[in-house]
Amino acid sequence: MSLPADDGAAEKSSNNNDFTVTPWEVEGEVDYGRLIEKFGTQPITQELLQKVKSMTGEIHPMLKLGYFFSHRDFDWVLDKKEKGENFYLYTGRGPSGMVHMGHLMPWMFTKYLQDKFDAKLLFQLTDDEKFLYGQDRTREETRRYTYENILDIIAIGFDPKKTRIIVDTKHIEHLYPIATEIAKRITFSTAKAVFGFTNSTNIGMIGFPPIQAAPCFLPSIIEGKNTPVLIPAAIDQDPYWRMTRDVADRMGYYKPAQVHSKFLPGLGMMGKMSSSRPETAIFTTDEPEVVEKKVSSAFTGGQPTVALQRQLGANALGCPVFWYLRYFFDTEKQSDERMLKCKSGNLLCGECKADLAKGAKPFVVEFKKRREKAKDVVAKFMYDEKPIEP
If one asks whether residue 191 binds its own copies (CB under 8 A), the answer comes out as yes
Q: How far apart are CA 351 and CA 355, in angstroms?
A: 6
Q: Binders of its own copies among 148-187, rule CB under 8 A? A: 169-173, 176-177, 179-187
If one asks whether residue 15 binds its own copies (CB under 8 A), the answer comes out as no
Nearest approach, Cβ of residue 274 and its own copies (Å) = 23
If one asks whether residue 22 binds its own copies (CB under 8 A), the answer comes out as no
Q: How far apart are CA 28 and CA 5, in angstroms?
A: 17
In the chain, the N- to C-terminal Cα span, in Å, equals: 44
If one asks whether residue 52 binds its own copies (CB under 8 A), the answer comes out as no
Q: Interface with its own copies by CB under 8 A: which range of 203-211, 252-260, 282-290, 366-374?
A: 203-211
Q: Interface with its own copies by CB under 8 A: which range of 8-16, 74-82, 194-202, 217-225?
A: 194-202
Buried b (16+ CB within 10 A) or exposed e, 89-100: bbbbbbbbbbbb
Among 15, 17, 46, 199, binds its own copies (CB under 8 A): 199
CA dihedral 78, 83, 85, 91 (to 10 degrees): 0
Nearest approach, Cβ of residue 127 and its own copies (Å) = 9
CB nearer its own copies, residue 183 or residue 229: 183
CB nearer its own copies, residue 193 or residue 312: 193
Max CA distance (Å), the chain: 67
If one asks whether residue 260 binds its own copies (CB under 8 A), the answer comes out as no
Q: Interface with its own copies by CB under 8 A: which range of 63-71, 131-139, 153-161, 329-337?
A: 131-139
How large is the angle between the packed helices 288-296 and 349-374, nearest 10 degrees? Answer: 150
Nearest approach, Cβ of residue 93 and its own copies (Å) = 18
DSSP, collapsed to helix, strand or coil, labels residue 258 as strand
Among 139, 293, 369, 375, binds its own copies (CB under 8 A): 139
Nearest approach, Cβ of residue 129 and its own copies (Å) = 9
CB nearer its own copies, residue 98 or residue 186: 186
Nearest approach, Cβ of residue 380 and its own copies (Å) = 21
How many residues bind to its own copies according to rule CB under 8 A?
38
Nearest approach, Cβ of residue 192 and its own copies (Å) = 7
Tell me, letter by letter, the H, E, C secondary structure of 74-134: HHHHHHHHHCCCCCEEEEEECCCCCCEHHHHHHHHHHHHHHHHHCCEEEEEECHHHHHHHC
If one asks whether residue 311 binds its own copies (CB under 8 A), the answer comes out as no
Q: Which amino acid is residue 93, in one-letter code?
A: R
Q: How far apart are CA 29 and CA 9, in angstroms?
A: 6
CB nearer its own copies, residue 126 or residue 258: 126
Kind plus residue range of the DSSP H or E element containing 231: strand 229-234
If one asks whether residue 224 binds its own copies (CB under 8 A), the answer comes out as no
Among 87, 88, 131, 327, binds its own copies (CB under 8 A): 131
If one asks whether residue 207 binds its own copies (CB under 8 A), the answer comes out as yes
If one asks whether residue 210 binds its own copies (CB under 8 A), the answer comes out as yes
**Which class for 219: exposed (0-12), middle (13-18), buried (19 or more C-beta within 10 A)?**
buried
C-alpha closest to that of 31 among 44, 21, 41, 43: 21
Q: How far is CA 9 from CA 22, 262, 301, in A?
A: 18, 11, 11
CB nearer its own copies, residue 85 or residue 181: 181
Nearest approach, Cβ of residue 295 and its own copies (Å) = 38
> In this structure, what DSSP letter does residue 377 have?
G
Among 7, 29, 128, 238, binds its own copies (CB under 8 A): 128
Nearest approach, Cβ of residue 204 and its own copies (Å) = 3
CB atoms within 10 A of CB 80: 18
Please, which residues have CB within 8 angstroms of residue 91's CB and are 6 or more apart in sequence? Answer: 106, 107, 110, 121, 123, 124, 231, 232, 233
Instruction: Using CB under 8 A, list all residues that contact its own copies.
Output: 128, 131-132, 139, 169-173, 176-177, 179-189, 191-192, 197-210
